């Protein structure tokens, strides 16, 4: 593994809770916002301790943790289960829960109810949902219920069949114009931030300049106000495919496999567990035990009792 050991920032116990005001201030002051995904307690804890601004419990959960072919099968119950684990691990990062497919598309009322569950049952502080102008009414209603909403434009994986695959969005002028319009509509609808996924970098930078709220890019270049990646991609833990926009900071999957193979070999050859990983009874207690039990299994213990 080759990555630099970077000094940890002030520990999470010293760091103050990250709020929406902090994220907005970062946009105004030109300080990049950092966001990554987490789906479990230890990852959330490590991200928090490393000083991350925003943890997203993404519906990428379905692909990188649950083994589904895409994000469409992820349910509210699965999302909430993992949100709770993340909320237990994170102390200071701002927590965003990703609304799964069909949890906000059927009706505005259902969308508000499901968004509320992320806060009430999942321990999240905001929700994210995918889509452009067609979601404006839903976003307005969720925000009116007091729930912060992060939008998601460009490559929206829940529309994968409509988009014809995981591909760059906004490559052509008309499509790019629609994306810019959508970004402004979502801002007007009340989103506190927008994810821009798989969008040409000039377009993402221009949208970012036009927005008062922070943009968070993934495959959208350095001109966004912040960046997000799927943590399993960053760690090299997801082996099915790695999009071009991912930088792998570690390759943990081969390390994991090697550790498992070594465990299997050591159990098989008897070298694990050794004495250092085992517990011993005192000689006195052991003798007493043998004396008390030799009637039960006389053949087995007779030779051990002096």
Angle at 137 between CA 135 and CA 143, to 5 degrees: 100
Residue 116 or 243: which CB sits closer to ligand KIV?
243
Site for ligand KIV in 138-177 (CB under 6 A): 152
Residue 218 CB, nearest approach to ligand KIV (Å): 5
Contact 69, 57 (CB under 8 A): no
Spell out where 59-213 has E strands.
94-98, 126-130, 149-154, 193-197
Q: Is 130 a catalytic residue?
A: no
Residue 273 CB, nearest approach to ligand KIV (Å): 39
Compute the half-sphere exposure of residue 111: CA atoms within 13 Å on the CB side of its CA.
25
Which of residues 23, 96, 126, 195 is near ligand KIV by CB under 6 A? 195
For residues 232 and 182, give the distance between their C-alpha atoms in angstroms, rounded to a whole number.
29
Q: In the structure encoding, which two tokens stand for residue 70, read together? A: 């895409």
Residue 37 touching ligand KIV (CB under 6 A): yes
Residue 109 CB, nearest approach to ligand KIV (Å): 24
Residue 18 touching ligand KIV (CB under 6 A): no
Catalytic residue among 49, 78, 125, 197: 197
For residues 54 and 259, give the distance between their C-alpha atoms in angstroms, rounded to a whole number.
31
State the helix-helix crossing angle for 136-144 and 173-189, rounded to 10 degrees: 20
Residue 98 CB, nearest approach to ligand KIV (Å): 5
For residues 279 and 68, give the distance between their C-alpha atoms in angstroms, rounded to a whole number.
42
Pairing of strands 94-98, 149-154: unpaired
Which of residues 53, 59, 125, 225 is near ligand KIV by CB under 6 A? 59
Residue 99 CB, nearest approach to ligand KIV (Å): 10
Which of residues 60, 158, 193, 215 is near ligand KIV by CB under 6 A? 60
For residues 218 and 215, give the distance between their C-alpha atoms in angstroms, rounded to a whole number.
10
**Contact flags string 229-268 toward ligand KIV, x per CB under 6 A:** -x--------------------------------------
Residue 58 touching ligand KIV (CB under 6 A): yes
For residues 287 and 304, give the distance between their C-alpha atoms in angstroms, rounded to a whole number.
8
Span from 45-53, 58-66, 78-86, 264-272 in contact with ligand KIV (CB under 6 A) = 58-66
Enumerate the active-site residues.
197
Catalog residues that contact ligand KIV under the rule CB under 6 A: 37, 56, 58-60, 98, 152, 195, 218, 228, 230
């Amino acid at each position: 593994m080759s990555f630099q050991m970077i000094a940890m920032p002030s520990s999470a116990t010293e760091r103050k809770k990250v709020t929406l005001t902090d994220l907005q201030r970062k946009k105004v002051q030109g300080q990049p916002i950092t966001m990554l995904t987490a789906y479990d307690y230890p990852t959330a804890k490590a991200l928090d301790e490393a000083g991350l601004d925003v943890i997203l419990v993404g519906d990428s959960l379905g692909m990188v943790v649950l083994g589904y072919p895409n994000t469409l099968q992820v349910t509210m119950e699965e999302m909430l289960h993992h949100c709770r684990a993340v909320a237990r691990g994170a102390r200071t990062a701002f927590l965003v829960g990703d609304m799964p497919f069909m949890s906000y598309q059927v009706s505005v009322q259902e969308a508000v109810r499901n968004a509320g569950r992320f806060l009430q049952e999942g321990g999240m502080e905001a929700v994210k949902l995918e889509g452009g102008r067609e979601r404006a009414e839903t976003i307005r209603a969720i925000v009116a219920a007091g729930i912060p909403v992060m939008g998601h434009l460009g490559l929206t994986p829940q529309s994968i069949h409509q988009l014809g695959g995981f591909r760059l969005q906004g490559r052509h002028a008309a499509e790019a114009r629609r994306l810019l319009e959508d970004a402004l509509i979502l801002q007007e609808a009340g989103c506190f931030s927008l994810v821009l996924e798989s969008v040409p970098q000039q377009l993402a930078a221009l949208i970012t300049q036009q927005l008062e709220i922070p943009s968070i890019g993934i495959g959208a270049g350095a001109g966004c106000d912040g960046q997000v990646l799927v943590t399993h991609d960053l760690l090299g833990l997801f082996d099915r495919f790695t999009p071009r926009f991912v930088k792998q900071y570690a390759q943990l999957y081969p390390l994991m496999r090697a550790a498992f193979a070594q465990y299997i070999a050591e159990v098989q050859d008897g070298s694990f567990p050794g004495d250092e990983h085992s517990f011993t009874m005192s000689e006195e207690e052991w003798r007493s035990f043998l004396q008390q039990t030799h009637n039960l299994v006389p053949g087995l213990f007779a030779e051990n009792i002096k």
